[in-house]
Amino acid sequence: MNTWDSETYNQKFHYVSDYGKALFDLIDFKQVETAIDLGCGTGILTNALASQHINVVGLDASSSQIAKARESYPKLMFIQKDASSFRVNHPVDLIFSNALFHWIPESAQEKMMKCIGEALKSGGQLVFECGGYGNNVMIHHALEQVFKKHGYTYSMPFYFPTIGDYAPMIEKAGMIVQYAKLFKRPTPLSGEDGLSDWIRMFVTKPFIGIDQQEKNQMIEECVESLRKDMYHHGTWYADYVRLRMKAIKKVK
């Protein structure tokens, strides 16, 4: 998705970058002088990487996210580039990515991994987290049912791989997997409209061509169908499943 409401993203969905900081534990910072934050969003984690005395560049396909990142962190470099087609002039020690890879279509995943492999120095690190198999399955199933009720077909806008899906792809791109974990992480959403806000922020493509009034009704129906299972003590909880991995570029 290349069009974002960056202000709302920072205000209501800051947990994305908050959780992403846990990935730093997988990075061997002693071996890192240069890095790319792939899918940098509004630049929060790019700045956190820079605070580790690393020369880091943030890449993102969204012009609005890049604009917000440049506004927030004017001393850092942010470039608008697509993860499945980016190239670098000089390979780097680290490619870091949080909550991006599941946005890349399945058909472009191998291209993305090839770009990553080519952008890493020999011995360089790939450290990432993305949505994994089963991520938000309850939400997407509820949306599928509502779309069917309204005479539409729900098309899943994400790719949620297993470890077994990703490991061969990573190794084909010239890297060796060192760490892999698929785990559940129920995630609290902000406010009484937390689930509705989540759908409006992250599930946009399936609603293209549906008028606003019907879209609002469909989202309301989806939310109500999930209230019993996902709304507890005044808070919405999204059924997140995350895939966290680390790989090293083969030493030639």
Domain residue spans in the chain? Answer: 6-249
Lowest mean pLDDT among 8-17, 71-80, 140-149: 8-17
**3-state class (DSSP) for residue 231:** strand
Q: Per DSSP, which regions of 2-160 are E strands?
A: 34-38, 55-60, 77-80, 92-98, 120-131
Handedness of CA 87, 92, 93, 95 (dihedral sign): negative
CA distance 141 to 81: 32
155-212 pLDDT, tens per residue?
999 999 999 999 999 999 999 999 999 999 999 998 899 999 999 999 999 999 999 9
9-40 pLDDT, tens per residue?
455 555 556 677 789 999 999 999 999 999 99
Flag whether the pTM goes above 0.85: yes
Please give the distance of CA 136 from its chain centroid, rounded to a whole number. Answer: 13
- What is the token pair recorded at 139? 């939400």
CA distance 22 to 8: 23
Lowest mean pLDDT among 13-17, 89-93, 114-118, 183-187: 13-17
pLDDT at 7 over 60: no
pLDDT of residue 174: 98
Pick the CATH number of 6-249 from 3.40.50.300, 1.50.10.10, 3.40.50.150, 3.30.70.420: 3.40.50.150
The stretches of 6-108 forming alpha helices (DSSP H) are 6-12, 15-20, 44-50, 63-72
Structure confidence at residue 3 as a pLDDT band (50, 70, 90): low
